[in-house]
Amino acid sequence: MTRPRTLSEKVWDAHVVQRGDGEPDLLYIDLHLVHEVTSPQAFDGLRLQGRTVRRPDLTIATEDHNVPTADTHLQIADPVSRTQVDTLRANAAEFGITHHPMGSDGQGIVHIIGPEQGLTLPGMTIVCGDSHTSTHGAFGALAFGIGTSEVEHVLATQTLPQSPARTLAITVDGELPAGSTAKDVILAILGRIGTGGGMGHIAEYRGSVIEALSMEGRMTVCNMSIEAGAKAGMIAPDETTFRYLEGRAHAPAGETWAEAEAHWRTLATDPDATFDKEVRLDGAEILPHVSWGTNPGQVAPLDGRVPRPEDLADAGERQAAERALEYMGLAGGTPLREVGVDTVFIGSCTNGRIEDLRAVADVARGRRVASGLRTLVVPGSWKVKAQAEEEGLDRVLVEAGFDWRDPGCSMCLAMNPDKLEPGERCASTSNRNFEGRQGRGGRTHLVSPAVAAATAVAGHLAAPSDLAPAGA
Ligand SMILES: CC(C)[C@H](C(=O)O)[C@@H](O)C(=O)O
Ligand code: SF4
């Protein structure tokens, strides 16, 4: 009998094409996603060596980081952004890669389009020159971000040398309180284990709270694995996964579906398998969370207060908190609900999917955005945008005063026209609150879509349950 294995070990083992003593394993890569930021030098490298793309059919490119989210029928105005996007287009054409240009049906944030097109499947190895590739682990794929030289290696060979990672089980049992979401689960996990808590590990999220999440919610959780320093984050595929995938453009169909599903069912961690490290959270204790600092581990329940650095026992944490509060323009001890914002950003590969937009529309329906507040609602892809419009969500949002945009990374990282001004404070459904992340001097509070929407209405950090009844 083979020894009991975890989900990640099974997927890893199935992809080893070469193993040698003291050497990293050479892994076969099933899907390589490409965007305009981390690919230009990789393609240049191929050209220099006269090489081709080994499997153009397993390589998919999209434009996301640099695209504007308004007037997308026009040329990109910024010359640097335009060059990056034009370069990707030229490379995709030269090397025969499927490419989704700005404004086309299949375009969107790289981590949104893979799953929605059924390209992302359980048991696969998936890489992209992007740290949030961990998103795809929600399907039980082993998915991780790689650097540009590795992008070149995968383009040329469809393989990647990798040293095995350790395994980490993050179990969230029980049931979430009403009003808490997948985003709150991952923010609470980050609050517990910190930004280094997953370092060197592949995380597997398990337990009844994770099992009860939709695929959208599972993607939100896996997306932020990298914020804990984990190499990847995975969830065992189950009925929820299969129902999400069935009928998607690139998912197996007919007889191959049944075969695929049977195989996917074998991927779950064996009952006797052990992890190198385990963390447990009680779902019942996970309340809506917001970040108060400048890394995604600096979070607190919305019901709480901005921490007082002097109360922190650890000297390193105390200094980090002092510095963060200074940048954030916050005083320790301030109730989080009293923190007013200038901007609300809803979107990104963390929370730019249809379920996220539904959650926002549910709060917006019959209400108004606080006066003077800037909002951006940015669907993660054109498919998400089209579905939202089919469901009438855009009308609800526009009537409430939200700005309804075109797909892209947008204000998640401000590599495009959507940026915060210095000192501007933003409630954001994205994944990083680093200094300057959303624009130089901008201040970010990471929140769930529901909290973002309620904050837009209230003008300060708020949960939907804080708001007066709609229409009142
Ligand atoms: C631009 C890209 C390399 C970067 C990443 O790797 O994550 C970006 O997507 C981000 O979210 O910071
Ligand atoms: S939405 Fe944000 S986190 Fe996701 S790929 Fe784009 S920039 Fe990175």
Do 142 and 244 fall into the same domain?
yes
Do 121 and 262 fall into the same domain?
yes
433 found inside a domain: yes
Pairing between β-strand 25-28 and β-strand 159-162 as defined by DSSP bridges: antiparallel
342 found inside a domain: yes
pLDDT of amino acid 1:
58
Do 246 and 100 fall into the same domain?
yes
Do 16 and 92 fall into the same domain?
yes
Which of 250, 277, 304 is the C-terminal boundary of a domain? 277
- Euclidean distance between CA atoms 169 and 130, whole angstroms: 23
The answer to whether the complex's ipTM is over 0.85 is yes
pLDDT of amino acid 2:
79
Count, in order, helices (H) and strands (E) of the chain.
16, 18
377 close to 411: Cβ distance less than 8 angstroms: no
Pocket of ligand 1 (CB under 6 A): 37-38, 65, 130-132, 145, 413
Which of 245, 277, 309 is the C-terminal boundary of a domain? 277
pTM: 0.98
Cα(469) to centroid(ligand 1), Å: 39
285 found inside a domain: no
Longest dimension (CA), the chain: 70
- In which region does residue 108 sit, left (phi positive, over 0), alpha (psi from -120 to 50) or beta (all else)? left
Rg (CA), the chain: 22
Cα(109) to centroid(ligand 2), Å: 7
Q: Name the binding residues for [4Fe-4S] cluster.
A: 349, 409, 412
Do 262 and 294 fall into the same domain?
no
382 found inside a domain: yes
1 found inside a domain: no
pLDDT of amino acid 472:
65
Which of 253, 277, 301 is the C-terminal boundary of a domain? 277
Residue nearest to atom 1 of ligand 1 (CA): 37
- Euclidean distance between CA atoms 386 and 354, whole angstroms: 10
Do 313 and 439 fall into the same domain?
yes
pLDDT of amino acid 297:
98
Q: What is the CATH number of the domain that holds 43?
A: 3.30.499.10
pLDDT tens readout for residues 246-267: 999 999 999 999 999 999 999 9
Pairing between β-strand 425-428 and β-strand 443-446 as defined by DSSP bridges: parallel
Q: Spell out the per-residue pLDDT of the chain, length 472, in tens.
A: 579 999 999 999 999 999 999 999 999 999 999 999 999 999 999 999 999 999 999 999 999 999 999 999 999 999 999 999 999 999 999 999 999 999 999 999 999 999 999 999 999 999 999 999 999 999 999 999 999 999 999 999 999 999 999 999 999 999 999 999 999 999 999 999 999 999 999 999 999 999 999 999 999 999 999 999 999 999 999 999 999 999 999 999 999 999 999 999 999 999 999 999 999 999 999 999 999 999 999 999 999 999 999 999 999 999 999 999 999 999 999 999 999 999 999 999 999 999 999 999 999 999 999 999 999 999 999 999 999 999 999 999 999 999 999 999 999 999 999 999 999 999 999 999 999 999 999 999 999 999 999 999 999 999 999 999 998 6
267 close to 121: Cβ distance less than 8 angstroms: no
Q: To 5 degrees, how large is the angle CA 179–CA 185–CA 187?
A: 110
Ligand with an atom nearest the CA of residue 223: 2
| Residue whose structure tokens are 């998936």 | 126
Do 194 and 271 fall into the same domain?
yes
Q: Give the H/E segment covering residue 166.
A: strand 166-173
The candidate with the shortest Cα–Cα distance to 111, out of 94, 92, 134, 93, is 134
Do 269 and 359 fall into the same domain?
no
pLDDT of amino acid 471:
81
Pairing between β-strand 299-301 and β-strand 59-62 as defined by DSSP bridges: unpaired
Do 203 and 89 fall into the same domain?
yes
The candidate with the shortest Cα–Cα distance to 80, out of 417, 308, 365, 390, is 417
Please give the tally of structural domains in the chain. Answer: 2
Amino acid sitting at position 435: E
361 found inside a domain: yes
Q: Which residues partner with 60 through β-bridges?
A: 33, 98
- Euclidean distance between CA atoms 347 and 409, whole angstroms: 8
- Euclidean distance between CA atoms 269 and 168, whole angstroms: 12
DSSP string, 225-256: GGGGT-SEEE----HHHHHHHTT-TTS--THH
283 found inside a domain: no
Distances (CA, A) of 146 to 29, 218, 259, 387: 12, 22, 31, 31
Cα(436) to centroid(ligand 2), Å: 15
Query: Looking at 8-83, which runs of residues are DSSP E strands?
Result: 16-18, 25-28, 31-35, 59-62
Residue nearest to atom 2 of ligand 2 (CA): 412
Do 361 and 260 fall into the same domain?
no
468 found inside a domain: no
CA 425, 372, 451, 304 dihedral sign is positive
Pocket of ligand 2 (CB under 6 A): 64-65, 109, 111, 130, 132, 348-349, 409, 412-413, 430-431
Structure tokens at 379: 């669907």
| Range of the structural domain that residue 333 is part of | 290-462
Do 401 and 444 fall into the same domain?
yes
In the chain, the percentage of residues whose pLDDT exceeds 90 is: 99
Do 247 and 294 fall into the same domain?
no
